[in-house]
């Protein structure tokens, strides 16, 4: 499958992976928008948040289970932001579900 993030997961494209387990990989965003900016994603290829099936629930439960640990790894103890863009109108550019985890600065609201 011609998916950038599947290639990163399969080590066909280099990346700076900071956490990995059976279900999840976390690597540094190539264009960081904060001092700490990583992408958390399921190893299973799911294109968008609208493609999640009931049987995927465990994977997303797992992502939230590891979230505090990963947030701490990128300096999120004082606060962080978790973002998921769904479809191009919301800014999604890679169609393999990923959560942006950003930390290390103050964040405005509402987002742009």
Residues forming contacts to ligand AMP in the complex (CB under 6 A) are 4, 13, 15, 29-31, 39, 85, 91-94
Which of Zn ion, ligand AMP, none does residue 45 bind (CB under 5 to 8 Å by kind)? Zn ion
Site for Zn ion in 16-55 (CB under 5 A): 45
As a whole number of angstroms, the distance between CA 41 and CA 27 comes to 9
**Is residue 98 annotated as a catalytic residue, yes or no?**
yes
**Cα–chain center distance at 24:** 9
Shortest distance, position 102 Cβ to ligand AMP, whole Å: 10
| Cα angle, residue 75 at apex, residues 82 and 65 outer, rounded to 5° | 50
Residues in the chain: 112
Confirm if 85 and 92 have CB atoms less than 8 A apart: yes
Contacts with Zn ion by CB under 5 A: the residue count is: 5
Which of ligand AMP, Zn ion, none does residue 3 bind (CB under 5 to 8 Å by kind)? Zn ion
As a whole number of angstroms, the distance between CA 31 and CA 16 comes to 12
For Zn ion, which is the closer residue by CB, 25 or 34? Answer: 25
Shortest distance, position 72 Cβ to ligand AMP, whole Å: 21
Which of ligand AMP, Zn ion, none does residue 80 bind (CB under 5 to 8 Å by kind)? none
State in Å, rounded, how far the first CA of the chain is from the last one: 32
Please name every residue paired with 80 in a beta bridge, in sequence order, or none if there are none.
Answer: 103
Residues that bind Zn ion (CB under 5 A): 3, 5-6, 45, 96
């Amino acid at each position: 499958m011609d998916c950038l993030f599947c290639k990163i997961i399969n080590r066909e494209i280099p990346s700076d992976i900071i956490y990995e387990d059976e279900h999840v990989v976390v690597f540094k965003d190539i264009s960081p928008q904060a001092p700490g900016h990583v992408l958390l994603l399921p190893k299973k290829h799911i294109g968008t948040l609208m493609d999640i099936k009931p049987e995927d629930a465990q994977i997303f439960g797992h992502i939230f289970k590891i979230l505090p640990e990963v947030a701490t790894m990128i300096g999120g103890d004082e606060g962080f932001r978790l973002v998921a863009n769904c479809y191009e109108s919301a800014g999604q550019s890679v169609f393999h579900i990923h959560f942006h985890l950003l930390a290390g600065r103050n964040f405005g609201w509402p987002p742009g």
